[in-house]
Chain A
Amino acid sequence: MPVTRMIRRCRGRDARRPVGDAIELLRQVAGLLYVATALVAFRWYLRERAEASKWLAATFATLATVVVVGIVSGDTRPTWLWVLTVAGLLAYPYLLMRFAATFDPFPRWVWPVVSTIAAGLLVWTAAVMPLAEDGASRPSAAAAYVLAVIVYFVALSVTVAWRLWHGGHGQPTLARRRMRSMAAAALLLSLALVAAGTGGEGEAVGLTVQLFSISATLLFLTAFATPGVLRASWRAVEEDELYRAAVRLMTVTTATEVAGVLLPHVRRVVGARVARLTTHDGAVLGLHGQPQGRPSFTIALSGADLEVWMSRYTPFFGVEEQRLGARLGLLADLALARADLLGREQQAREDVEAANRELEAFVYTASHDLKTPLLALLGFVDLLDAEPGVRSADAEFYLTRMRANARYMQDLIADLLELSRVGRVDITPEEVDLADLVRTVASHATEQHPGTAVVVDGELPHLWANATRLRQLVTNAVENAARYGGRPDITVSISAEPTHDGVELGIRDDGVGIPSEHRERVFGVFERLDQSGGGTGIGLALCRKIAEELGGSIRFADSDTGADLRVELPLTAIVAAPPLTATDRTTTSTTEPEIRA
């Protein structure tokens, strides 16, 4: 009968010549190999406890059981044992499909269909086996049964083989070859079964079946218990990739370049679908591929995180490649640290160059502005020298101008020194009564510029601030308004409004104002819109430098009348101005009385 003939041929019992002994020996070897494969798979399951390793262990345990039962029981086994043996043979490809499905799920309808077909074949086996034992001859029915079994076995095995083979695409070399070894093994086992079922009675067929069988087990063992020599050989490509990545990483100079070099290498070495490098606060330095869901693993580097999305096959077939990825991550860490150092060095160099340029410009401007009064001084000296009989009125004029220019140079030098001190001399903050400070400034201003009025607009808080710098800032702002307001009876009002992170001082006047195109320029050192005010042109530059030293900013706001200077300072108002008492209410209006000399 074709059925028993097929089974006997698988067992190698039909040959009665010396070749038959060889075939029998090969069958024993194949049996041992199947048992070894089952033990390796089972050990892997015990170690990993993963879904894939569970199905793999079940697959080879079933196959080994079928083979061992066949060897041990021989031809005299009872019918029920035959049926069980065939059941095992039918279960093998089903279990292998379950293993493959852990990486790449099949559609849900597949399982009921396959299970039904397997169950149907089992029932058919139960029906066919007694007839075979009784010697009843129904060649067409038997052939149909054998064909059905072969088609079922081959179809499932080829499906799994194709999935594993295709899944190896894009994987690192070691993982890819392991997967394809398994695919080849599944195909070889199918071929063995086809040969056994359809190949006839000859020794050649028997030998072929056993050789296919042994080759299949060896390939299975290679797939998930790869010898060290093969591992090293198959991993050579990725090791070389790692070396090339290391060389390239040592030449890059920015974090973005590190990402650009690292990520393609990571994908090739690890067999990742997606790789991404991000800073610790989430900014993406580089991305290779389209991320979906959470990363399979993340390597935390000192300056960044390397996130990798693996294929489903990698945890099973490519574990060692993940370690290669970690090595690559370490190299990237070094490169990132180097890039950071280079970046800071470059920034420091640029800062120094900018500071040098600023210094050069400042020195030029300062020397020019010092030359101006000096030339005037020399000019008047020349005039006195050239005119021995100069009239006393003219001489008096010359001497007055000489004195004024000398004083101007003196003021200029003092202001320059003060400007240079801002930021260099450390003055600690203290509680400052802003209203009291304004009164002091107002008193000084009206001494210098009689007719100028300084008023307080609203309440002025106590501030936790550097009193010296704050006084300098307010003094220079008021002085600027008085000098350049355009008329002697100017009124300067000072206010303080809270902001979200401090206070905004307002110094407003009712003078001629500043054209919008000059509102930024006037903060430059020695910049004046006209000479009539007599100042050095450093006042507003000093105000800006102080505001920036205090962590704030200064600008002229749009204004229809006069100039409106706003100084934003991140200072804490520590004590609110005391509420007005009943007595105060009778003598003050919404603004405090103007302060005059």
Chain B
Amino acid sequence: MTKPLRVLVAEDNPDHRYFITRALEGLEDIALEVTTVEDGAEALDFVYRRGVYADQPAPDVILLDLKMPRRSGLEVLDELKSDPTLRTIPVSILSSSDRQEDVLEAYRLGGNAYLRKRGFTELTSDLRGAMRFWGQIVVLPPSPA
């Protein structure tokens, strides 16, 4: 049995979190284990297994909003991609911003993909496509120790 794809979703807006979670739940052909956090600081705690997340395994894929309280998405991305043990985890930005500066900065910091938030229907389609890509098409690196 294929182990589920562990997905960390960092999204501060509760409604957007709801949509993302619903979109990912609808995938029947890929097993997903979805964890949601509400801001960038919490996302880092999860990845670094700090505090309440000490026993959590590292995620296989991270969906990262850009504008979040405490630590922004770009700050989280920069820190992850600067860490030699964590930089291999694919990070996909998920943002309503389509500003060229944001897109460029995300890729410059090492982001693996940039998804734009649209309506719920489009979002569902995009996320499912992304999960199929990471979960079935590409070969992921081994999980960090």
CB contact under 8 A between A375 and B117, given known A364-B99, A368-B96: yes
Interface check A584, CB cutoff 8 A: no
Stretch of A201-209, A286-294, A527-535 with 4 or more beta carbons under 8 angstroms from chain B: A527-535
Interface check B132, CB cutoff 8 A: no
For the complex formed, measure the closest distance between the CB of A136 and the CB atoms of chain B, giving whole angstroms: 115
Contact status B19-A529, CB under 8 Å: no
Contact status A383-B120, CB under 8 Å: yes
Contacts of A379 in B (CB 8 A): 15-16, 19, 119-120, 123
Interface check A550, CB cutoff 8 A: no
Interface check B38, CB cutoff 8 A: yes
Contact status B14-A531, CB under 8 Å: yes
Separation of A386 and B122 alpha carbons in the complex (Å): 12
Interface check A378, CB cutoff 8 A: yes
Interface check A115, CB cutoff 8 A: no
For the complex formed, measure the closest distance between the CB of B64 and the CB atoms of chain A, giving whole angstroms: 16
Contact status B38-A530, CB under 8 Å: yes
Interface check A77, CB cutoff 8 A: no
Contact status B69-A382, CB under 8 Å: no
Interface check B39, CB cutoff 8 A: yes
Scan residues 9-33 of chain B and give those whose CB is less than 8 A from a CB of chain A: 12-16, 18-19, 22
Contact status A382-B70, CB under 8 Å: no
CB contact under 8 A between A528 and B69, given known A372-B16, A376-B13: yes
Contacts of A382 in B (CB 8 A): 119-121
Residue with the highest number of chain B CB atoms closer than 10 Å, among A364, A379, A401, A529: A379
For the complex formed, measure the closest distance between the CB of A411 and the CB atoms of chain B, giving whole angstroms: 15
Separation of A530 and B71 alpha carbons in the complex (Å): 10
Scan residues 355-382 of chain A and give those whose CB is less than 8 A from a CB of chain B: 364, 368, 371-373, 375-376, 378-380, 382
- The answer, among B13, B97, B123, for a CB contact under 8 Å with A531, is B13
For the complex formed, measure the closest distance between the CB of A124 and the CB atoms of chain B, giving whole angstroms: 102
Contacts of B120 in A (CB 8 A): 378-380, 382-383, 386
Contact status B38-A368, CB under 8 Å: no
Interface check A43, CB cutoff 8 A: no
Interface check A518, CB cutoff 8 A: yes
For the complex formed, measure the closest distance between the CB of B100 and the CB atoms of chain A, giving whole angstroms: 11
Contacts of A376 in B (CB 8 A): 13, 15-16, 19
* Interface residue count on the B side (C-beta < 8 Å): 22
- The answer, among B67, B70, B96, B123, for a CB contact under 8 Å with A518, is B70
Contacts of B123 in A (CB 8 A): 379
- The answer, among B15, B38, B67, B119, for a CB contact under 8 Å with A401, is B15
Separation of A382 and B18 alpha carbons in the complex (Å): 13
- A531: nearest chain-B partner, CB-CB: B12
Separation of A373 and B16 alpha carbons in the complex (Å): 9
- The answer, among A378, A518, A531, for a CB contact under 8 Å with B38, is A531
- The answer, among B13, B69, B118, for a CB contact under 8 Å with A372, is B13
Bitwise interface map of B from 110 to 125 toward A, beta carbon under 8 Å scored 1, else 0: 0000000111110100
Separation of A382 and B70 alpha carbons in the complex (Å): 31
Interface check A102, CB cutoff 8 A: no
Separation of A109 and B22 alpha carbons in the complex (Å): 109
Interface check A405, CB cutoff 8 A: yes
Contacts of B99 in A (CB 8 A): 364
Scan residues 50-101 of chain B and give those whose CB is less than 8 A from a CB of chain A: 67, 69-70, 96-97, 99
CB contact under 8 A between A375 and B96, given known A383-B120, A405-B15: yes
Contact status A386-B70, CB under 8 Å: no
Contacts of A383 in B (CB 8 A): 22, 120
For the complex formed, measure the closest distance between the CB of A384 and the CB atoms of chain B, giving whole angstroms: 10
Separation of A79 and B85 alpha carbons in the complex (Å): 120
Scan residues 481-525 of chain A and give those whose CB is less than 8 A from a CB of chain B: 518
Bitwise interface map of A from 37 to 65 toward B, beta carbon under 8 Å scored 1, else 0: 00000000000000000000000000000
- A379: nearest chain-B partner, CB-CB: B120
Contact status A375-B39, CB under 8 Å: no
Contacts of B70 in A (CB 8 A): 518, 529-530
- The answer, among B18, B69, B96, B118, for a CB contact under 8 Å with A530, is B69
Contacts of B96 in A (CB 8 A): 368, 371-372, 375
Separation of A527 and B15 alpha carbons in the complex (Å): 18
For the complex formed, measure the closest distance between the CB of A539 and the CB atoms of chain B, giving whole angstroms: 14
Contacts of B14 in A (CB 8 A): 531
Bitwise interface map of A from 437 to 477 toward B, beta carbon under 8 Å scored 1, else 0: 00000000000000000000000000000000000000000
Contacts of A401 in B (CB 8 A): 15, 18
Separation of A498 and B13 alpha carbons in the complex (Å): 42
For the complex formed, measure the closest distance between the CB of A62 and the CB atoms of chain B, giving whole angstroms: 91
- A369: nearest chain-B partner, CB-CB: B67
Contact status B121-A530, CB under 8 Å: no
Contacts of B19 in A (CB 8 A): 376, 379
For the complex formed, measure the closest distance between the CB of B140 and the CB atoms of chain A, giving whole angstroms: 29
Scan residues 256-272 of chain A and give those whose CB is less than 8 A from a CB of chain B: none
Contacts of B97 in A (CB 8 A): 368
Separation of A529 and B16 alpha carbons in the complex (Å): 18
Separation of A518 and B96 alpha carbons in the complex (Å): 24
Separation of A383 and B14 alpha carbons in the complex (Å): 16
For the complex formed, measure the closest distance between the CB of A20 and the CB atoms of chain B, giving whole angstroms: 105
Contacts of B38 in A (CB 8 A): 530-531
Separation of A401 and B22 alpha carbons in the complex (Å): 15
- The answer, among B12, B22, B69, B119, for a CB contact under 8 Å with A375, is B119
Separation of A401 and B99 alpha carbons in the complex (Å): 27
Contacts of B121 in A (CB 8 A): 382, 386
Contact status B119-A368, CB under 8 Å: no
Contact status B119-A531, CB under 8 Å: no
Contact status A529-B69, CB under 8 Å: yes
For the complex formed, measure the closest distance between the CB of A542 and the CB atoms of chain B, giving whole angstroms: 18
Separation of A527 and B70 alpha carbons in the complex (Å): 9
- A371: nearest chain-B partner, CB-CB: B96
- B123: nearest chain-A partner, CB-CB: A379
Separation of A372 and B119 alpha carbons in the complex (Å): 11
Contacts of A373 in B (CB 8 A): 15
Counting from the closest, the 9 A-B pairs by CB-CB distance are A379-B120, A382-B120, A376-B15, A371-B96, A378-B119, A529-B69, A379-B19, A531-B12, A382-B121
Interchain Cβ contacts under 8 Å between A and B, 28 examples: A364-B99, A371-B96, A372-B13, A372-B16, A375-B16, A375-B96, A375-B118, A375-B119, A376-B15, A378-B119, A378-B120, A379-B15, A379-B16, A380-B15, A380-B120, A382-B119, A382-B120, A383-B22, A401-B18, A405-B15, A528-B69, A529-B70, A530-B12, A530-B38, A530-B39, A530-B70, A531-B38, A531-B69
Excluding A378-B119, A379-B123, A531-B14, 17 further A-B contacts by CB distance (< 8 Å) are A368-B67, A372-B13, A372-B96, A375-B96, A375-B119, A376-B13, A378-B120, A379-B16, A380-B15, A382-B119, A382-B121, A386-B121, A401-B15, A518-B70, A527-B69, A530-B38, A530-B69
